[in-house]
Copies of this chain bind each other. A is one copy, B any other.
Amino acid sequence: MNSFGVKFRFTTFGESHGKAIGCIVDGVPAGLKIDEEFIQSELDKRRPGQNSLTTARKEADRVEILSGVFEGVSTGTPIAMVIFNRDQKSRDYSNIKDIFRPSHADFTYWHKYGIRDYRGGGRSSARETASRVAAGAIAKLILREFNIEIESAIIEIGGAEVDNVDFEYAKESIIRCGDREKEQELIKIIESAKAKHDSVGGAILVRAKGVPIGLGEPVYYKLDSKIADALMSINGAKAVEIGAGIESARLKGSQNNDQISKNGFLTNNSGGILGGISNGDEITAKVWFKPTPSIFQEQQSIDFTAMRFNLTCKDATTHVCIRGSTVC
């Protein structure tokens, strides 16, 4: 169950502290120019440690293409990509190695698999998202041929919303914030939480431009349900909205309906999707992330032998959750 998609389908592998992570991308048409620098630049955007605010770990991820590309062009065969983990040594987790960290996946992984990799998050680590960023970069190269562009921006941190969303600005923002005016406020919220050994959550707005009418298959492969599926599979995601989302549910039908003129839709509350099928307008979705559970504070927990209770657990480092556009 480590694959996503049907025609374009990728399968990922790798743990945070194993030898390597990576993916196989199946269904890439032959003849596509594979721009390796672009793939690398997408990974660089994801990389933690780009600023003083986020996770300290420096992951100098270098992606290597192992197959499916010949003389710079896709051959129609599966494209395998691998990122070797430069630093496989784990932090000193000895203080927490047999305690479940509150709201961490270590609790469920241990119960499901009966195995504990004390080196770190393993497969549940946000590091897995590097593989999907690599696969997503290939997807973007295909979409580019159809003039479809996907952009994203941070729109809320720790309860503070932006006023405007400028996707261009988000690309240069240190925290991928879509609002130049609000950026400093959001940064302060992060710094303040960090100073208190705490973490904050937030939200990202994603927009796809140039999507033709007709994508999405009723009724169990709707475009919106597959977007929800994809976004909710990202580590820490707790909510997904399409178009106006929850706001739509609070409007009257007469207010929410996107009326149509000869020049197109007058509004886009539907987020570019009607009946599960793209309507030619911009696709918009929001995804909401919980604060990273790894905090350096005392918390009540139990150990995995279930023999000691009411332990307190302090995580080894402080994280905040703003690693760019597609990952938490």
Contacts and interface: CB of A to CB of B under 8 A. Distances in A.
A248 B238 contact: yes
Interface residues of A, number: 135
A117 to B, nearest CB: 5
A295 B20 contact: no
A70 B257 CA distance: 28
Contact of A26 (B3, B19, B75, B124): B3
Nearest to A229: B229
Give the oligomeric copy count: 4
A270 interface: yes
A249 B238 contact: yes
Interface in A160-211: 193, 198-203
Contacts of A250: 156, 158-159, 201
A203 to B, nearest CB: 6
A310 to B, nearest CB: 6
A94 interface: no
Contacts of A105: 218, 274-277
A251 interface: yes
A244 B19 CA distance: 36
Contacts of A279: 107-108, 111
Interface stretch (A33-41, A78-86, A141-149): A78-86
Contacts of A258: 102-103
Contact of A2 (B111, B200, B218, B235): B218
Nearest to A293: B257
Given A2-B24, A107-B274, A124-B218, 16 more contacts: A3-B11, A3-B220, A11-B11, A13-B77, A18-B66, A30-B115, A66-B82, A75-B123, A102-B258, A108-B278, A112-B277, A201-B248, A238-B249, A239-B240, A239-B248, A244-B290
The 8 lowest CB-CB distance pairs between A and B, nearest first, are A105-B275, A199-B253, A1-B217, A1-B221, A262-B309, A108-B277, A201-B249, A30-B113
Interface of A: 1-4, 6, 9, 11-15, 18-22, 24, 26-27, 30-31, 64-68, 70, 73, 75-80, 82, 100, 102-109, 111-115, 117, 122-124, 128, 156, 158-159, 193, 198-203, 213-214, 216-222, 224-233, 235, 237-246, 248-254, 256-262, 266, 269-271, 273-280, 288-295, 297, 299-302, 309-310
